[in-house]
Chain A
């Protein structure tokens, strides 16, 4: 089955710790995105990548980092510099930048 997977479903972070959220797709999509969702707010773009080995900052990139070494994978690292990391994180992919986006199931990050 083709689709997007995110892992883990729930992730706990201690103060000062970096954590990495996984996003994998087998749809052969070039474009991939990371969004953050907070209660009462719309999703906001963290980073996006339109092709392997290239990525761009979104609206709220501070405290986050990404890599795109493989077409299928776009991991997001939440660094200790992100002061308010508790949120629901959604990964999406698309054939191209103007195409329909397909979303993963999301990872809920909680700070202990």
Chain B
């Protein structure tokens, strides 16, 4: 069983819609990451969260440490937001990340 679970696996939205991607994990963490992978394969770090909420442009990430749950929201979605969004938690002292399987988002014009 993957220690980091994401839902949904696939998501199709119309341009302008509000989007939510969920991430849950099974153990206590020091930090939770959200990353974006474009079709070419390159990965960009979006957020690193240890508590509360962070916002960058149209992206908002929240985390509830007690419930071991995080969400990534996209407001006013656009076709250029189409990508795979990946949640990852710290794996312990090594600093490596343990990744979810990703949510593939497709935003239609």
The chain A residue with its CB closest to the CB of B48 is A100
Given A31-B95, A56-B94, A98-B95, do A42 and B100 touch, yes or no (CB 8 Å)? yes
Q: A7 near B: Cβ within 8 Å?
A: no
**How far does the alpha carbon of A60 sit from the alpha carbon of B85 in the complex, in Å?**
23
Give complex CA distance A42, B90 in Å. Answer: 14
Chain A minimum-CB-distance residue to B102: A42
Cβ of B40 within 8 Å of any chain A Cβ, yes or no, is yes
Is B16 interfacial (CB 8 A cutoff)? no
A45:B96 contact, CB within 8 angstroms: yes
Q: Is the CB of B86 within 8 A of A42?
A: yes
Any A CB within 8 A of the CB of B68? no
Q: Please tell me if the beta carbons of A88 and B41 are within 8 angstroms of each other in the complex.
A: yes
Contacts of B40 in A (CB 8 A): 105
CB–CB A98/B90 < 8 A: yes
In the complex, how many angstroms separate the beta carbon of B35 from the nearest chain A beta carbon? Answer: 8
Chain A contributes a number of interface residues (CB within 8 A of B) equal to 28
- Contact A42/B96 with A88-B41, A103-B42, A103-B43 known, Cβ cut-off 8 Å: no
Within the assembled complex, what's the spacing in Å between the Cα atoms of A97 and B95? 4
Which of A43, A92, A100, A103 has its CB near the most chain B CB atoms (within 10 A)? A43
A106 on interface, CB distance cutoff 8 Å: yes
CB distance from B96 to the nearest CB of A (A): 5
Q: Which residue of B lies closest to A46 (CB)?
A: B96
Which residues of B lie under 8 Å from residue A106 when comparing CB positions? 41-43
A21 at the B interface (CB under 8 A): no
Residue from the set A50, A92, A98 with the largest chain B CB neighbour count within 10 Å: A98
Residue A33 is within 8 A (CB to CB) of chain B in the complex: yes
Q: Are B30 and A98 in contact (CB under 8 A)?
A: yes
Q: B-side interface residues toward A, CB under 8 Å?
A: 2, 4, 30-31, 33, 35, 40-45, 48, 86, 88, 90-91, 93-102
Question: 14 interchain pairs (CB within 8 A)?
Answer: A41-B101, A42-B4, A42-B98, A45-B91, A45-B94, A45-B96, A58-B94, A96-B95, A97-B93, A99-B95, A103-B44, A103-B45, A104-B42, A105-B40
Closest 6 CB pairs of A and B: A97-B95, A42-B99, A103-B43, A106-B41, A43-B99, A45-B96
